[in-house]
Amino acid sequence: MASEASISRVLKRAGEASRLALMALTLAGILSASLWVWKPRWISRLDGWIVQKHEERYRIPLKQALSSMEEGKKLEAVEKLGNLLSDMESVRKQDRLAPLKTRAFEAMTRILVEEKEFSRALRYYENWIAYDDRDLRARAGKGWTLLAMPDRKAQGKALLKELYRKVPYSPVVMSVYVDFLMEGDDLTDAFLVCLNYWHYEKRLAKKPFSSYEETAWTIVRGSESGLDEESGVSVYPVWTKEGAMRLSCPMPPGSTCDRFKIVPPAGVQGAIADFSPGLRLPLGRERPVAFRPEMELHEMELRDESTLVANGNGSFFVVLLAEPLKGREDAKLFFEARVEWLSPPGPVPFPRRFAGVLRDPSKVARLAQDLRSRGEAQAVEGLKEALRREGAGDLLPSLPEDFP
């Protein structure tokens, strides 16, 4: 009987504990539902805090590795980047952490190539391509690394030639391919590749800005402590019925920003007028966001007190908000402006290494003679224009007398 009484007491206590646990779960559910309904911002802040802590787990080691690289501690940087990339093995290119992983691949491959550890660099380039097979930097880097390996040089040449055949108008691919040709002292073909890209940019520049819907702008967030370059995101413009361009900028919940760096697409030259930020709220409502009249301009100029002109060569501007703006789940920041295409004069878009050729009299003369012997009449005119636009018009008299 005593044993039965003991069992009965145990069962009774277990039942009471189960009821208490069920009541606690019920209260927690009611509290959570109430917060979702009455305090959605609390939920957004909690979500933002969780996301921020999760990102910091990878962002901080990346910053430490990049700092080591800048300080010349390359072995230390390689170790940190290797550990980080191992931790991020499950990250996919559509994930929130994708930009950090790409940055880690960039830094790792750069160090290994500089240290001439080509076999290790090749492995990381292949991992980078497996992670994002559309990143041309990874494919071009792999080709260049193969060129540096005597037993795989032919494979590198074939890869770069095929890559250039598929995407001749990519500045990354064009630049690497020109370097490849110049390594073989093939100045003429290198010039023709540069000229082909230059003609493409000229055709592209004749389009109105509204045809750049598939060309991404870049927006970088920042605060009083400065710009966070790692927060940079690619944003594609949307054109309103009134013909204005609109860029939507993600603002993660829990973040606070008071400045934004806005970078037009490379090579695009245009005037940006009537610039204004705004906030899109639930139910389609919108309200303007005040900003300071002063802006930080880089490779841009201010005209008519309200128009910014980008020259297409590393242009960007930084907007300062009148008050810091906190990220919200139910609101999205946007920038709107009228944009018109311009075509101011500027240098030719040749890789820096080849641009140096245009200032070497002996190489210019050799290039001119080869173009003439090939009967490249259009390329001849392109060379003359390139010399003038690069400020090397004084070399024109040094060309052969029978140069057309």
CATH number, domain with residue 184: 1.25.40.10
Shared domain check, 380 and 324: no
Q: How far is Cα 87 from Cα 89, in angstroms, rounded to an integer?
A: 6
At 283, which CATH number?
2.60.40
Shared domain check, 97 and 24: no
pLDDT tens profile 167-183: 888 888 998 999 999 98
Q: Is the pLDDT assigned to residue 207 strictly greater than 60?
A: no
Answer whether residue 288 is part of any domain: yes
Element (H, E) at 222: strand 217-223
Question: How do strand 286-288 and strand 307-310 relate by DSSP bridges?
Answer: unpaired
pLDDT-derived band at 74 (thresholds 50, 70, 90) equals: very high
pLDDT-derived band at 34 (thresholds 50, 70, 90) equals: low
Q: Is the pLDDT assigned to residue 103 strictly greater than 70?
A: yes
More confident residue, 24 or 33: 24
Q: Look at residue 113 in the predicted model and tell me its pLDDT.
A: 95
Q: Look at residue 106 in the predicted model and tell me its pLDDT.
A: 93
Q: How far is Cα 281 from Cα 285, in angstroms, rounded to an integer?
A: 5
Shared domain check, 82 and 154: yes
Integer-rounded Cα radius of gyration of the chain: 29
Q: What share of the chain is helix, strand, coil (3-state, %, to 5)?
A: 55, 20, 25
Shared domain check, 283 and 165: no
Q: Are 313 and 348 in contact (CB under 8 A)?
A: no
pTM for the predicted model, two decimal places: 0.59
Distances (CA, A) of 141 to 38, 160, 180, 234, 236: 53, 9, 11, 22, 26
As given in the structure block, the two tokens for residue 85 are: 């990339």
Q: Look at residue 127 in the predicted model and tell me its pLDDT.
A: 96
Q: Look at residue 287 in the predicted model and tell me its pLDDT.
A: 86
Sequence-ordered alpha helix ranges (H) in 39-87: 40-70, 74-87
Q: How far is Cα 93 from Cα 273, in angstroms, rounded to an integer?
A: 35
Q: Look at residue 184 in the predicted model and tell me its pLDDT.
A: 86
Residues in the chain: 404
Residue with structure tokens 């295409």? 341
Answer whether residue 352 is part of any domain: no
Shared domain check, 193 and 72: yes
Answer whether residue 299 is part of any domain: yes
pLDDT tens profile 227-249: 888 878 888 888 777 778 888 88
Shared domain check, 393 and 302: no
Answer whether residue 350 is part of any domain: no
pLDDT-derived band at 139 (thresholds 50, 70, 90) equals: very high
Answer whether residue 210 is part of any domain: no
Shared domain check, 224 and 192: no
E strands present in 267-393: 270-280, 286-288, 296-298, 300-303, 307-310, 316-326, 332-341
Phi-psi region of 226 (alpha: psi -120 to 50; beta: other; left: phi over 0): left
pLDDT > 90: what percent of the chain? Answer: 25
The total number of structural domains that make up the chain: 4
Answer whether residue 346 is part of any domain: no
Answer whether residue 365 is part of any domain: yes
Q: How far is Cα 340 from Cα 244, in angstroms, rounded to an integer?
A: 10
Shared domain check, 123 and 268: no
Answer whether residue 351 is part of any domain: no
What average pLDDT does the chain have? Answer: 80
Shared domain check, 95 and 63: yes
Q: Which amino acid is at 208?
A: P
Q: Look at residue 154 in the predicted model and tell me its pLDDT.
A: 94
Shared domain check, 134 and 192: yes
Full residue range of the structural domain in which residue 112 is found: 47-205
Shared domain check, 135 and 164: yes
Mean pLDDT of 43-58: 64
Shared domain check, 76 and 198: yes
Distances (CA, A) of 93 to 74, 77, 89, 167, 403: 26, 23, 11, 21, 52
For the beta carbon of residue 317, count every other beta carbon within 10 angstroms.
Answer: 20
As given in the structure block, the two tokens for residue 234 are: 């690619």
Q: How far is Cα 355 from Cα 194, in angstroms, rounded to an integer?
A: 10
Q: How far is Cα 327 from Cα 250, in angstroms, rounded to an integer?
A: 8
Q: Are 209 and 396 in contact (CB under 8 A)?
A: no
pLDDT tens profile 296-336: 888 787 776 667 877 666 788 888 888 888 877 777 888 88
| Cα four-point dihedral sign 389, 390, 393, 397 | negative
